[in-house]
Structure 1
Amino acid sequence: MDQSRRQITKIAREVTKFTVREMKAEGIGTAEFDFIHLVRHHPGITQTQIRDALKIDKGAAARRAASLEAKGYLVRRENPNDHRSQLLYATEKAEGLRNSKAAIEQTFYEWLLDELSESDRDSFCRVLNDLYLRSKKEARAGFPEVSARLETGAGEDE
């Protein structure tokens, strides 16, 4: 049985709702943010690579790229290896958006922890960091232990 009752997921959902609301006020939707995020982490990526990574169709990728370019978040440059395609790069405005998203999330988490005592906050953050490091280690290994639990049925609700 899941003692956590998936509370981490539920909190993350609330943060996402708040972040999406605030990002929309800046004129950016979640799909556009995912697009920008991918370009930021893979400078010089092609629309074809973006389509494959985000599992979107050709038209959606073209519209999103054009919209983000018009808003000043992306620039296109000719692909020196293939003159039929262009490479996409994030602009400084896109980098500022990343910082803005982080600031929105930080504000929510600070608010969430405000009512805890300093001691509870310190303990909670220490345990949370331990859990994060454990999850990151498992992810980097390709999720072997969690996958094994799924295969054996361990962790299922009874």
Structure 2
Amino acid sequence: MSAIIFIKLVESATKLKRGVIMRVSAPIGKWIAKLYKDHDQFVDNLLEDYNLNHSEANLLIYLYKDGDGISQNKLKENLGVDKATISRAIYSLIDKNYFKKRKSPADGRVNLIYLTEKAEAVKEEINDIYQQWFQIFINKIGEKEAKRVLDNLEKMYEIVQNKE
């Protein structure tokens, strides 16, 4: 994110109705980064039995949710990661027999990514691992408050992306 977008976000998000700027005790990025790091460690620990890491599991979760038969480029765009990162994760998942590639019938230059039987067999377990992380928050702050936090994070993301 560029510094200008971040500054605009901070300025617009912190102004109160009377034009007074609200002061925050720590940058929001600090808390998001800490949560992201802790999330990855938590998930990685639980994924060890499946010989997976959080980056690979994120691809599995995406295909579980949105269906397989997607191109590598479309995955890259939808997940917001660079080509090298997505390529490494895909080839690792192919090597571990969680993904398979097939040529697109519409365009032979394009490879489509599909889940294997092995990936389908662990679908519930992988989804449960991610749910366990979220359940920590639900247990402490309740489902309604946890949903409100997620909704607000999504709104903040949309503001930064100038989608709102």
Range of TM-score over shorter length:
0.5 to 0.7
Alignment of 1:123-138 (within 5 A): 124-125=141-142, 126-136=144-154, 138=155
Q: Percent identity?
A: 18
Assess, with a 3 A threshold, how the Cα gap between structure 1 residues 4 and 92 changes in structure 2: closer, same or farther: farther
Tell whether the 8 Å contact from 1:73 to 1:92 is kept in structure 2 after alignment. yes
- The equivalent residue for 2:16 is none
Confirm or deny that 1:22 pairs with 2:49: no
Tell whether the 8 Å contact from 2:98 to 2:119 is kept in structure 1 after alignment. yes
- The equivalent residue for 1:55 is 82
Unaligned runs of 5+ in 2: 1-22
- The equivalent residue for 1:104 is 129
Count of aligned positions: 134
Q: TM-score, normalised by structure 1?
A: 0.57
- The equivalent residue for 1:81 is 106
| Superposed displacement of residue 16, structure 1 | 2.5
CA RMSD of aligned residues (A): 3.8
Q: Is the partner of 2:83 in helix, strand or coil?
A: coil
Tell whether the 8 Å contact from 1:19 to 1:101 is kept in structure 2 after alignment. no
Which aligned segments of 4 or more residues in structure 1 are displaced greater than 4 angstroms?
Answer: 3-8, 95-98, 108-114
Q: TM-score, normalised by structure 2?
A: 0.56
Assess, with a 3 A threshold, how the Cα gap between structure 1 residues 8 and 97 changes in structure 2: closer, same or farther: farther
Assess, with a 3 A threshold, how the Cα gap between structure 1 residues 42 and 54 changes in structure 2: closer, same or farther: farther
| Superposed displacement of residue 108, structure 1 | 4.8
Q: Is the partner of 1:54 in helix, strand or coil?
A: coil
Greater relative contact order structure (CA < 8 Å, 6+ sep): 1
| Superposed displacement of residue 21, structure 1 | 1.9
**Match for 2:159: what amino acid?**
F
CA distance in 2, matches of 1:56, 1:67: 14
Unaligned runs of 5+ in 1: 115-120, 148-158
